[in-house]
């Protein structure tokens, strides 16, 4: 018998200020080795459900249980094994580029010095240097995105 990995029971999500639920009473069992996908029109709740399963978004009702073998486990013990790339660029517009990197590093339980060390191995320091030279080192993502859009237009 194949082991249960994730058990979703009556999960519902209603965004603050929304008139209706984005997800209502979702039930799903995901087993080891199983391949599946979520299909539906925009606004159907696909990204919301995946964000809930990755603990990026909280849900209002229901229960999600993760398993290893046949034993329930805490999500934090598997967080680093999960990759989630949303359709849209996943950056918080009110944070600077450096703050976004620090935030997402913290989501993966990385210590600040580990985030800096890994950033140094990538091209992030070059990006930050260019932003500083241009006087954009402390501005938020939305301003940078607006300027980039003007250049491309």
Same domain, 14 and 61: yes
Please compute the mean of the pLDDT values over residues 97-109 and round it to a whole number: 74
Where are the strands (E) in 2-138, listed by range?
A: 4-13, 23-31, 61-68, 71-73
65: phi then psi, degrees, rounded to nearest 5? -120, 135
Which of the listed residues 29, 46, 81 is the one where a domain comes to its end? 81
What token pair was written down for 78? 């598997």
Tell me, what's the pLDDT at 153? 47
Tell me, what's the pLDDT at 11? 97
Same domain, 104 and 58: no
Question: Is 73 within a domain?
Answer: yes
Where are the strands (E) in the chain, listed by range?
A: 4-13, 23-31, 61-68, 71-73
Percent of the chain with pLDDT over 90: 24
Same domain, 9 and 75: yes
Instruction: Please give the residue range of the domain that contains residue 47.
Output: 4-81
Domain count, the chain: 2
Tell me, what's the pLDDT at 143? 60
User: Which pLDDT band holds residue 151 (cuts at 50, 70, 90)?
Assistant: low
Which of 40-49, 60-69, 73-82, 83-92 has the least mean pLDDT?
83-92
Question: Is 91 within a domain?
Answer: no
Same domain, 61 and 17: yes
Kindly report the CATH number assigned to the domain that includes residue 35: 3.40.50.300
Higher pLDDT, 126 or 81: 81
- What predicted TM-score, i.e. pTM, was given to this entire model? 0.58
Rounded distance, CA 34 to CA 5, Å? 10
Tell me, what's the pLDDT at 105? 78
User: Which pLDDT band holds residue 70 (cuts at 50, 70, 90)?
Assistant: confident
């Amino acid at each position: 018998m194949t082991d249960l990995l994730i058990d979703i029971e009556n999960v519902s999500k209603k965004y603050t200020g929304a008139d209706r639920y984005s997800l209502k009473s979702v039930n799903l069992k995901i087993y080891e080795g199983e391949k599946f996908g979520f299909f539906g029109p925009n606004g159907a709740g696909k990204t919301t459900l995946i964000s809930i399963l990755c603990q990026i978004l909280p849900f209002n009702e229901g229960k999600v249980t993760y398993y290893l073998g046949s034993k329930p486990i805490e999500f934090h013990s598997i967080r680093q094994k999960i990759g989630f790339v949303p359709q849209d660029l996943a950056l918080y517009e009110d944070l600077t580029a450096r703050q976004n990197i620090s935030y997402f590093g913290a989501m993966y339980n990385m210590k600040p010095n580990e985030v800096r060390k890994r950033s140094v191995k990538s091209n992030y320091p070059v990006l930050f240097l260019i932003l500083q030279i241009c006087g954009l080192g402390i501005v938020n993502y939305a301003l940078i995105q607006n300027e980039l859009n003007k250049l491309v237009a």
